């Protein structure tokens, strides 16, 4: 049982006695990270909690900024000193949408680990580390879905339209608008309850998924026409993009969100990857449509990463060309038959 009465009561008491609550999420915060953290934040605010803050290791995508009205938050990569102060004053830390503290950033991890205060986990990734209270459900579509179930038990009267907007954003980004296989009955039920609260789906969908800068659309067109590499006999495809190419299209955080999925639009393709060159590393995103190609294990074993069976990410410290070469070798060695 993930949501036992005892755990909920324990969490409720911790919230009650805490005066400085800090919520944290993972590096490169996505829609679920932002949706679940801002949703919990607004709920705690509605409960009457005063000193609340969210710390993200680095910037979130601009299309999510509408969720931050009245939300006190900090990007640690822009202000580590302030993060340090917030963490020093904190008496409760809540980690969301990550399974281990190292998924924040090295700098934050060093600040967090010595702190002798309760650390709570709310997450849906596989293999969670130990926390003081852990709400971990790898069957949940999203951390936002799990968060909704928790706050509903804590005090359903404090879930308002603003909380609903955040939770819905988290669910629909992690489920690809209720289309991925993680979209089980529960996430539809939660969505129905959010709609019952008066949530309007269409403007939210446009805000989160449809609006795009001109540069982002052009980058997408370029990547699809020039950079898509298809290995039909191995049922694999990938796109890779260099720093210089990203600069050319005035890359903004979030511009590559969803690009990896285009590879899977080709009939027969079961494995997709996106390689993008960042400041000092190559960021890798993996997607699979075949559960026997477990990209969580693949990312974990070869690319210093992890995630879920059908969606995972990793990092490479090699050059973009070397990373491409290794990935192509792995594709040729037949992902389907390897025992990673
Ligand atoms: P994305 O490709 O969208 O960045 O990530 C896909 C999924 O894998 C998300 O659930 C994300 O949290 C997870 N993920 C991405 N990168 C990493 C990583 O480096 N380590 C782990 N453990 N999970 C990751
Ligand atoms: Mn998530």
Phi, psi at residue 99, to the nearest 5°? -105, -5
Q: What are phi and psi of 71, to 5 degrees?
A: -105, 120
Residues 164, 36 within the same domain: yes
Q: Does the pLDDT of residue 37 top 90, yes or no?
A: yes
Q: How far apart are alpha carbons 306 and 34 in whole angstroms?
A: 19
Would you say the CB of residue 29 lies under 6 angstroms from ligand 1? no
Closest ligand relative to 126 C-alpha: 1
pLDDT > 70? residue 126: yes
Residues spanned by the domain of 278:
214-332
Residues 181 and 240 in one domain: no
Ligand 1, from 34, 125, 307, 309: best to mutate by most atoms within 8 Å of Cβ? 307
Residue 320: inside a domain: yes
pLDDT above 90 for 291: yes
| Any atom of ligand 1 within 6 Å of the Cβ of 308 | yes
> What's the pLDDT at 1?
80
**What is the C-alpha separation between 310 and 245, in angstroms, rounded?**
28
Which 8-state DSSP code applies to residue 290?
Answer: S
Q: What is the pLDDT of residues 236-281, one digit of tens each?
A: 999 999 999 999 999 999 999 999 999 999 999 999 999 999 999 9
Mean local confidence (pLDDT), 122-145: 97
DSSP summary character for residue 208: I
286: β partners: 273, 312
- 96 has which bridge partners? 122
Same domain as 186, residue 276 = no
Domain boundary among 187, 209, 231: 209
Predicted confidence band of residue 336 (pLDDT cuts 50, 70, 90): low
Substitution candidate for ligand 1 out of 103, 302, 312, 314 with most atoms within 8 A of CB: 312
Ligand 1 atom with minimal separation from the 312 CA: 8
Q: Are residues 13 and 133 in the same domain?
A: yes
CB atoms within 10 A of CB 78: 11
- Verify that 38 and 163 share a domain, yes or no: yes
pLDDT value of position 60? 97
59 within 8 A of 136, measured Cβ to Cβ:
no
- Closest ligand 1 atom, CA of 98? 12
Q: What's the pLDDT at 339? A: 52
What total of structural domains would you count in the chain?
2
Predicted confidence at residue 337, as pLDDT, reads 55
For residue 142, give the CATH number of its domain: 3.90.1640.10
């Amino acid at each position: 049982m993930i949501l036992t009465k005892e755990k909920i009561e324990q969490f409720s008491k911790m919230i009650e006695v805490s005066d400085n609550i800090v919520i944290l999420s993972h590096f490169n915060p996505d829609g679920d990270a932002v949706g679940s953290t801002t949703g919990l934040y607004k709920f705690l605010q509605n409960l009457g909690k005063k000193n609340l803050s969210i710390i993200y290791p680095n910037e979130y995508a601009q299309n999510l900024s509408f969720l931050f009205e009245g939300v006190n938050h900090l990007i640690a990569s822009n202000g580590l000193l302030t993060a340090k102060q917030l963490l020093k004053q904190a008496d409760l830390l809540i980690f969301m949408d990550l399974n281990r503290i190292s998924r924040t950033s090295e700098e934050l991890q060093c600040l967090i680990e010595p702190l002798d205060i309760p650390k709570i986990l709310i997450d849906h990734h596989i293999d969670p580390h130990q926390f003081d209270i852990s709400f971990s459900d790898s069957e949940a579509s999203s951390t936002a879905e799990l968060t909704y179930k928790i706050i509903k038990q804590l005090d359903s009267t404090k879930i308002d339209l603003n909380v609903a907007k955040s939770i819905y954003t988290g669910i629909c980004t992690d489920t690809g608008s209720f289309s991925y296989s993680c979209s089980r009955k529960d996430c539809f039920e939660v969505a129905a309850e959010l709609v019952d609260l008066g949530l309007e789906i269409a403007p939210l969908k446009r805000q989160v998924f449809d609006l795009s800068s001109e540069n982002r659309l052009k980058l997408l067109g370029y990547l699809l026409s020039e950079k898509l590499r298809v290995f039909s006999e191995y049922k694999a495809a990938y796109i890779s993009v260099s720093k210089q190419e990203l600069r050319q299209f005035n890359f903004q955080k979030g511009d590559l969100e969803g690009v990896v999925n285009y590879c899977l639009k080709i009939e027969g393709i079961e494995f997709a990857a996106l390689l993008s060159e960042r400041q000092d590393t190559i960021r890798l995103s993996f997607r699979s449509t075949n559960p026997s190609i477990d990209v969580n294990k693949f990312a974990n074993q070869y690319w210093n990463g992890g995630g879920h069976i059908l969606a995972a990410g990793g990092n490479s410290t090699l050059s973009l060309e070397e990373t491409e070469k290794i990935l192509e070798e792995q594709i040729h060695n037949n992902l389907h038959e390897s025992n990673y």
